[in-house]
Amino acid sequence: MFIIPVGNRVDWKRPPVVTLLLILINCFVFFFLQAGDEKSNAQAMQFYFASGLPDLELSRYSKYLEAEGSLHEREEFNGLLAKRNRATLPMMEQDAKFMRELHAGHIITPQDAEFASWTAQRDEYESKRSFTDRYVYQVDDPSLLTATTSGFMHGSFGHLFGNMAVLFLVGFMVESVVGKALYALAYGLSIYAAIFVFGLTAHGGALLGASGAIAGVMGLYSVIFGFRKIDFFYSLGFYFDYVKAPAILLLPLWLGNELYQFLSEQGAHIAYMAHFGGLLCGAIMGALYRWQRPALIESRHEETESKDMDGQTFQRGMDLLGAMEFQKALAVFKTLQEKHPDDPNLARLVYRAAKSNPSGEDYHRAALRLLALPEMDAATSNQVHSIFHEYLDCAKPAPRLGHDLVARLAKRFSGIGHSDDAEKLASLLQRLAPQHGELPAVLLALARGYYREQRKDKFEEILKSLMNRFPQSKEAEAAAGMLRVG
């Protein structure tokens, strides 16, 4: 049985940094640190049997088996040893108890004459072994270092891909609600919880992979989202479907599935109880967080749901616009604009929808709102210029350009290579509001526009007009200086 939640979209304006970082770390470990495992193991084995280590260790391992009363294993081992079969090395190395004794200096002791030679050769052999062999977690030889490294290693590309896909699907949703710090802490603690529970139920062996940590994220998800209904995908054999249900129902299903698989598939190479331990850890952390910060969780859920609803509303408006149902699309985009008044994209969409009725109040308001957009970039300024011409041609019964907007547009067009339009606006402003406070600045901006366009006659004409009309202004002083230089 496979069950995974689906639904929310990633908000790339606030990217899931921790989720992406965890995916990058796991991929780096697999594609770079584990990439040379096969070659390293071959080189390490070649070195081992070319060194004096077989004579020093394998014979002692035979005696160790005899002392332990493992007669069948000793007989099998001695048979391989007599044939100089290299399988003797992995057989010895899989005996965690013997390897602990060996590394502790209890098999070849400091009192033995061969100790110094053995230590040097053993150290060199260990350095040649693969990254996975050196840093995988061994139940019979536990350490904090290998517990940590194992949580970022994988046995195959398929193993990695499956884990990272689940981590991305679930992780970004959890990160958006609980925040980066708690999310990263839950992931880390779930690694150790998974290893601990696995160690309680496993009889030796190794554990690697991020599955336990990802199970922790899933347990955290189920509790944090609680009784909120979410969409999830499930498969039972060849049958699969989507269902909407409270998120908390996933926790007993996941836990029960892992326990059932563990009990029914003894000997399987899947660490079901590591998943079980991770799920429990994540669920406990989620419960503690809910207890401590219930209001914060609800506010973040509401924020996410509001964004999802806005996204659905936006898509409905785009569909209506595409179907040329302009008035319906206008109503949708105006609703969104009330919530996001500073969004220039929504302002453009309201204008597009309102343009179907150029005599309507909505069209005039939408056009004037776009024309009054603050200075941003060249593309936006050129778009404002296009909308200006369109508004002049389409507006009924006439455009409604206020004096302040005329002054702003004149200065703006002067700076983007549309000085002729800027001069028309400047003339309009002089006619309608000859004492407007921005008029000297408009004329100076217009002169600079003509200067950039290398139209010297117009440049000088505007500067002289500025000096004659506003002789006491600071702009007239600047104009006099520009005439002397120009």
Domain check: are 467 and 372 in the same one? yes
Q: Average the pLDDT over 86-102 and give the result.
A: 90
pLDDT at res. 107: 94
Residues 6+ apart with CB under 8 A from 119: none
* 315 within a domain of the structure (yes/no): no
Look up residue 15 and give its amino acid.
Answer: P
Quote the CA–CA distance of 10 and 140 in Å, as a whole number.
Answer: 42
Alpha helices in 202-343 (DSSP H): 211-225, 250-264, 272-292, 294-322, 326-339
Domain check: are 272 and 334 in the same one? no
Radius of gyration for the alpha carbons in the chain, expressed in angstroms and rounded = 37
Place of tokens 């929310």: 8
Asked whether residue 482 carries a pLDDT value surpassing 70, the answer given is: yes
Q: Average the pLDDT over 93-117 and give the result.
A: 91
Choose the final residue of a domain: 129, 159, 184.
129
Which DSSP state fits 247?
A: G
pLDDT at res. 301: 63
Residues 6+ apart with CB under 8 A from 457: none
b/e per residue 216-243 (b: at least 16 CB within 10 A): bbbbbbbbbbeeeebebebeeeeeeeee
Burial (0-12, 13-18, 19+ Cβ within 10 Å), 483 = middle
Domain check: are 479 and 392 in the same one? yes
Domain check: are 288 and 348 in the same one? no
* 56 within a domain of the structure (yes/no): yes
Quote the CA–CA distance of 479 and 482 in Å, as a whole number.
Answer: 5
Quote the CA–CA distance of 73 and 63 in Å, as a whole number.
Answer: 11
* 299 within a domain of the structure (yes/no): no
Asked whether residue 222 carries a pLDDT value surpassing 70, the answer given is: yes
Asked whether residue 305 carries a pLDDT value surpassing 60, the answer given is: no
Which DSSP state fits 31?
A: I
Quote the CA–CA distance of 100 and 104 in Å, as a whole number.
Answer: 6
Taking residue 136's Cβ as centre, other Cβ atoms within 10 Å add up to 17
Domain check: are 329 and 478 in the same one? yes
pLDDT at res. 306: 57
Q: What are phi and psi of 204, to 5 degrees?
A: 80, -170
Choose the final residue of a domain: 292, 315, 345.
292
Domain check: are 58 and 163 in the same one? no
Mean of all residue pLDDT scores within the chain: 88
Domain check: are 217 and 122 in the same one? no
Asked whether residue 256 carries a pLDDT value surpassing 70, the answer given is: yes
- What confidence category does residue 138 fall into, taking pLDDT thresholds of 50, 70 and 90? confident
Domain check: are 275 and 191 in the same one? yes
- What confidence category does residue 269 fall into, taking pLDDT thresholds of 50, 70 and 90? low
Question: Which has the minimum average pLDDT: 111-125, 198-212, 246-260, 302-316?
Answer: 302-316
Domain check: are 206 and 264 in the same one? yes
Domain check: are 58 and 194 in the same one? no
Crossing angle between the packed helical segments 361-371 and 403-415, to the nearest 10 degrees: 50
CB 5 within 8 A of CB 221: yes
- Measure CA of the first residue to CA of the last residue in the chain; give whole Å: 81
CB 277 within 8 A of CB 264: no
* 301 within a domain of the structure (yes/no): no
* 194 within a domain of the structure (yes/no): yes
b/e per residue 80-99 (b: at least 16 CB within 10 A): ebeeeeeebbebbeebbebb
Handedness of CA 334, 336, 341, 343 (dihedral sign): negative
* 312 within a domain of the structure (yes/no): no
Element (H, E) at 370: helix 361-371
Which DSSP state fits 33?
A: I
Please give the biggest Cα pair distance in the chain: 115
Q: Give the residue, 35 or 303, on which the prediction is more confident.
A: 35
Q: What percent of the chain has pLDDT over 70?
A: 94
Tokens describing residue 290: 């809910």
CB 245 within 8 A of CB 281: no
- Paired residues of 229 in beta bridges: 246
Domain residues for the domain of 108 are: 37-129
Place of tokens 């004659």: 468
CB 436 within 8 A of CB 429: yes
Quote the CA–CA distance of 200 and 460 in Å, as a whole number.
Answer: 90
Residues 6+ apart with CB under 8 A from 414: 422, 442, 445, 446, 448, 449
Choose the final residue of a domain: 271, 292, 313.
292
Q: Average the pLDDT over 169-183 and give the result.
A: 89
CATH number at residue 179: 1.20.1540
For the stretch 343-364, pLDDT in tens is 888 888 899 999 999 999 999 9
State CA 283 to chain mean position distance: 23
Burial (0-12, 13-18, 19+ Cβ within 10 Å), 386 = exposed
* 402 within a domain of the structure (yes/no): yes
Which DSSP state fits 453?
A: T
Tokens describing residue 372: 């009054």
Domain check: are 116 and 244 in the same one? no
What is residue 141's three-state secondary structure? strand
pLDDT at res. 292: 80
* 97 within a domain of the structure (yes/no): yes
Domain check: are 461 and 380 in the same one? yes
Tokens describing residue 363: 């069209």
pLDDT at res. 113: 93
Number of domains in the chain: 3
Q: What percent of the chain has pLDDT over 90?
A: 48
Place of tokens 């909120």: 228
